[in-house]
């Protein structure tokens, strides 16, 4: 039986394209939210789930980070990077001057911010659950509307492609991760994602924490902070390090890290994406 992969649907989203790139032979199952994708994997409806985690223009995808930090007991098993081309789609026969509302996922709206400000300065921007859901909203709208979605969505739905390549930056790529019940084994070219927090704010805490990796020559590929959501001024730090959690030096660093932090959660180890665009 083919593997079942959950993704943020409906069909025609960039998440579906990422799922197809990851495993073309898999059965792709659309779900209405990132949380629903995780629930599908957790419950056994799908073996794996593909979700966006970071965009080169808009940064981290908060829904996915919050899911990993606070909710799903799942691991990151794989990562892949997909180039994103945004298109403007309308009902057949519609014209640009008539558009009063533009629907899309908040990330897509942000990635096309300058284009929208120049071309549709008075249009109402409405957030959708996904880019493909935005197309469905356009088709159901009685007000002249447009959707920012993928080229594939233009092929799947009865719409016209009004413009393409409307993202503000031509280097627009999104990093997707594959969620599963287990992370990946060691390959020799791996990355480990984790989060950590401190019980109280003290000078030098973060310095000590990242020093556990620096002293062992382990490169930090990424570090950022997010509100802990339990008190103002408390933060959770998200870190990507090069290496697998079972590599001896990474394992040593993680053990040392436990002495500095109040919370440590390893999201998983997985092969580093090699063919970045």
DSSP 186-202: P-SSEEEEEEEE-SS--
Buried b (16+ CB within 10 A) or exposed e, 171-201: ebbbbbbbbbeebbeeeeebbbbbbbbbeee
Alpha-carbon distance of 75 to 267, in angstroms, equals 5
Residue 276: per-residue pLDDT: 43
pLDDT category of residue 231 using cuts at 50, 70 and 90: confident
Active-site hit among 31, 174, 237, 267: 174
**Residues facing 161 on adjacent strands:** 89
Mean pLDDT of the chain: 93
Summarised one tens digit per residue, pLDDT across range 67-112 is 999 887 899 999 999 999 999 999 999 999 999 999 999 999 999 9
pLDDT of residue 2: 84
**Regarding the domain delimited by 4-83+172-180, which CATH topology (the fold level of the hierarchy) does it fall under?**
D-Maltodextrin-Binding Protein; domain 2 (3.40.190)
CA separation for the pair 130, 157 (Å, rounded): 14
Q: How many CA atoms lie within 13 A of 30 on its CB side?
A: 15
- 276 vs 262, which has greater pLDDT? 262
Identical topology for domains 4-83+172-180 and 190-271: no
Look up the CATH architecture of domain 190-271. Answer: 2-Layer Sandwich (3.30)
How many Cβ atoms from other residues are within 10 Å of residue 219's Cβ? 11
First-to-last alpha carbon distance for the chain, in angstroms, is 33
Query: Domain spanning 87-164: which superfamily?
Result: Periplasmic binding protein-like II (3.40.190.10)
Burial class (CB in 10 A: 0-12, 13-18, 19+), 22: buried
- Percent of all residues in the chain with a pLDDT value above 90, rounded to a whole number: 86
CA-CA distances (angstroms) from residue 67 to 7, 39, 129, 171, 230?
Answer: 14, 10, 16, 27, 16
Q: CA-CA distance, 135 to 137, in Å (whole number)? A: 5
- Contact (Cβ atoms closer than 8 angstroms) between residue 195 and residue 236: yes
154 sits in which H/E element = helix 151-156
CA distance 70 to 6: 20
Spatial CB neighbours of 225, under 8 Å, sequence gap ≥ 6: 235, 236, 237, 238
Please give the pLDDT value at position 274: 82
The yes-or-no verdict on residue 264 having pLDDT over 70 is yes
Tallying the residues shown for the chain, one arrives at 277
3-state SS, residue 98: helix
DSSP 8-state code for residue 69: I
pTM exceeds cut of 0.85: yes
SS3 18: helix
Contact 102, 113 (CB under 8 A): no
**176 included as an active-site residue:** yes
**Domain limits, the chain:** 4-83+172-180, 87-164, 190-271
Active-site hit among 31, 176, 213, 237: 176
For residue 247, pLDDT over 70 is answered with: yes
């Amino acid at each position: 039986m083919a593997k079942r992969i959950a993704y943020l649907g409906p069909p025609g989203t960039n998440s579906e394209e990422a799922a197809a790139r990851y495993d073309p032979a898999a059965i792709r199952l659309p779900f209405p939210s990132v949380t629903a994708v995780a629930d599908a994997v957790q419950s056994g409806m799908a073996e794996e789930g593909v979700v966006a985690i970071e965009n080169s223009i808009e940064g981290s995808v908060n829904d996915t980070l919050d899911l990993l930090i606070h909710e799903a007991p799942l691991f990151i098993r794989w990562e892949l990077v997909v180039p994103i081309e945004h298109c403007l789609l309308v009902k057949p026969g519609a014209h640009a001057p008539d558009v009063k509302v533009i629907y899309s996922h908040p990330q897509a709206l942000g990635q096309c911010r300058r284009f929208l400000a120049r071309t549709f300065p008075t249009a109402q921007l409405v957030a959708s659950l996904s880019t493909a859901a935005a197309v469905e909203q356009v088709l159901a709208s009685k007000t002249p509307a447009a959707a920012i979605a993928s080229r594939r969505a233009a092929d799947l739905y009865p719409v016209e492609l009004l413009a393409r390549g409307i993202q503000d930056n031509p280097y627009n790529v999104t990093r997707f991760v594959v969620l599963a019940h287990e992370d990946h084994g060691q390959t020799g070219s791996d990355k480990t994602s984790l989060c950590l927090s401190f019980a109280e704010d003290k000078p030098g805490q973060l310095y000590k924490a990242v020093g556990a990796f620096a002293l062992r020559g382990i490169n930090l590929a990424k570090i950022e902070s997010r509100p802990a959501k339990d008190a103002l001024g408390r933060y959770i730090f998200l870190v990507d390090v090069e290496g697998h959690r079972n590599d001896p030096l990474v394992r040593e660093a993680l053990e040392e890290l436990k002495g500095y932090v109040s919370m440590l959660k390893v999201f998983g180890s997985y092969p580093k994406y090699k063919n970045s665009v």
